[in-house]
Amino acid sequence: MTSDLRWTLAGDKPTGLFETCRQVVGKGRYRGLTFLEVESKTIINRVAKTRYFPFEYTINCYRGCSHACVYCFARPSHDYLGLGIGEDFDRKIVVKVNAVEMTRAQTAPRHWAGHSIAMGTNTDPYQPAEGKYRLTRGVVEVLAERANPFSLLTKSPLVLRDRHLLAEAARRAEVTVSFSVGTLDTDVWKRSEPGTPHPRQRLEAVRKLKGLGIPSGVLVAPLLPGISDAPRQVAEVMRACRDAGADFAAPIRLHLRPGVKEHYMEWLAEEFPDLVGTYHQLYGNRSYLPRPSPSGRRKSNPARQSPKPRTPASPKNGQGRLL
Ligand code: SF4
């Protein structure tokens, strides 16, 4: 552990984001992972709402994610902690072990006006670490008790472990569970999201949650230009969402912010070298692809490979729709 990490080691002056840090080496099903257990000074973050990020309050119990998606926009948050955005992000998971107590304290009625809270906006609340620490479950228990609205975004059917709790929460307040499923192409899935459960399992989870009356849908995201955005591929995902009974299916194209872009481009050069030039043309110095013109064609897109996606159903509320 180096001294430039943005957390405070025991005995240090408390200036970092987190108090104390204990390293736990993963064993058994967690082999290969290191958990950095920290005490967070706060658990509810207030963020600026944008077109791409329509949330005001978020909770993230973990930083880093062993789902290891190559395009993960949260990777730079590890850099901020003095850790690497590549393998460190995939293998060194920061665990805010006091997340449940902090949620209870920060949502106490005298402090909190009952705003909706989004989980899964930075890293996956049901990533493998949740199987060990059960922090997301604890936070959901507190929010359910308080009838506080919330949303979850995940790629993991581990959420089904908490299905009865979520059903109870959904009876008391507005609750939405969203899954991201960018592709059903097994080859693309294995290469781009190597630590995630199969996307069909996520759609099966949608079906089961819907069966319990829990509003659930899919972010068809991210669509990777030239890799998973062919009309045939997108239509297959949309059809599967409809078959699973999803309340909504919102396509989102890949965005590549600084840091993530470099990481992604290294991967692209290894896995799809023929597409490197196309991506340089598509993204240039931008993080986002230009918005499609009303005719469905991008004005300045030299590759013009992405289809104009169609949405079979709309989210019941704004929680799941990012675009
Ligand atoms: S599941 Fe989400 S948070 Fe985890 S690596 Fe993939 S994109 Fe990032």
Q: Tell me, yes or no, whether 74 lies in a domain.
A: no
pLDDT level of residue 53 (50, 70, 90 thresholds): confident
pLDDT in tens, 81-97: 889 999 999 999 999 99
Question: What would the mean pLDDT of 3-15 be, rounded to a whole number?
Answer: 47
- Expressed in angstroms and rounded, the spacing between residue 93 Cα and the centre of ligand 1 is 12
Q: Tell me, yes or no, whether 145 lies in a domain.
A: no
Q: Which residue has the higher pLDDT, 53 or 204?
A: 204
Q: Tell me, yes or no, whether 274 lies in a domain.
A: yes
Q: Which atom of ligand 1 is nearest to the CA of 120?
A: 3
pLDDT level of residue 294 (50, 70, 90 thresholds): low
Distance CA 303, CA 316 (A): 34
pLDDT in tens, 29-40: 999 999 999 999
Q: Tell me, yes or no, whether 134 lies in a domain.
A: no
Q: Are 76 and 136 in contact (CB under 8 A)?
A: no
Distance CA 128, CA 1 (A): 23
pLDDT in tens, 244-260: 999 999 999 999 999 99
| Structural domain span for residue 231 | 181-323
Q: Write down the residue that tokens 């926009």 correspond to.
A: 73
Whether pLDDT at 302 is above 80: no
Q: Are 221 and 202 in contact (CB under 8 A)?
A: no
Q: Tell me, yes or no, whether 13 lies in a domain.
A: no
Whether pLDDT at 222 is above 50: yes
Whether pLDDT at 162 is above 80: yes
Distance CA 274, CA 215 (A): 41
Nearest CA among 121, 169, 175, 160 for reference residue 141: 169
Q: Are 306 and 224 in contact (CB under 8 A)?
A: no
Q: Tell me, yes or no, whether 206 lies in a domain.
A: yes
Distance CA 33, CA 274 (A): 33
pLDDT in tens, 201-219: 999 999 999 999 999 999 9
Whether pLDDT at 116 is above 60: yes
Q: Which H or E run includes 294?
A: none
**Residue of 66, 73, 123, 181 with the most ligand 1 atoms within 8 Å of its CB, for mutation:** 123
Question: What would the mean pLDDT of 118-145 be, rounded to a whole number?
Answer: 97
CA-derived radius of gyration, the chain: 20
Q: Write down the residue that tokens 């704004």 correspond to.
A: 318
Q: Which residue has the higher pLDDT, 16 or 154?
A: 154
Query: Is 155's C-beta closer than 6 angstroms to any atom of ligand 1?
Result: yes
* Per-residue pLDDT at 139: 98
Look over the chain and give the mean of its residue pLDDT values, rounded to a whole number: 88
Task: List the residue whose alpha carbon is closest to atom 3 of ligand 1.
Answer: 123
- Expressed in angstroms and rounded, the spacing between residue 11 Cα and the centre of ligand 1 is 33
Query: Is 123's C-beta closer than 6 angstroms to any atom of ligand 1?
Result: yes
Task: List the residue whose alpha carbon is closest to atom 7 of ligand 1.
Answer: 72
Q: Tell me, yes or no, whether 7 lies in a domain.
A: no
Q: Are 278 and 224 in contact (CB under 8 A)?
A: no
Picking from 42-56, 94-108, 210-224, 245-259, which range would have the lowest pLDDT averaged per residue? 42-56
**Residue of 62, 63, 70, 72 with the most ligand 1 atoms within 8 Å of its CB, for mutation:** 72
Distance CA 159, CA 143 (A): 16
Question: What would the mean pLDDT of 198-203 be, rounded to a whole number?
Answer: 98
Q: What percent of the chain is modeled with pLDDT above 90? A: 79
Three-state SS sequence of 93-151:
EEEECCHHHHHHHHCCCCCCCCCCEEECCCCCCCCHHHHHHCHHHHHHHHHHHCCCCEE
**Residue of 63, 69, 190, 254 with the most ligand 1 atoms within 8 Å of its CB, for mutation:** 69
pTM for this structure?
Answer: 0.88
Distance CA 117, CA 45 (A): 9
Distance CA 96, CA 133 (A): 10
Counting the structural domains of the chain, the total is 1
Whether pLDDT at 12 is above 50: no
Query: Is 72's C-beta closer than 6 angstroms to any atom of ligand 1?
Result: yes
Q: What percent of the chain is modeled with pLDDT above 70? A: 84
Query: Is 67's C-beta closer than 6 angstroms to any atom of ligand 1?
Result: yes
Q: Which H or E run includes 154?
A: strand 150-154
Distance CA 141, CA 309 (A): 37
Query: Is 69's C-beta closer than 6 angstroms to any atom of ligand 1?
Result: yes
Q: Tell me, yes or no, whether 93 lies in a domain.
A: no
- Expressed in angstroms and rounded, the spacing between residue 67 Cα and the centre of ligand 1 is 6
Distance CA 150, CA 177 (A): 9
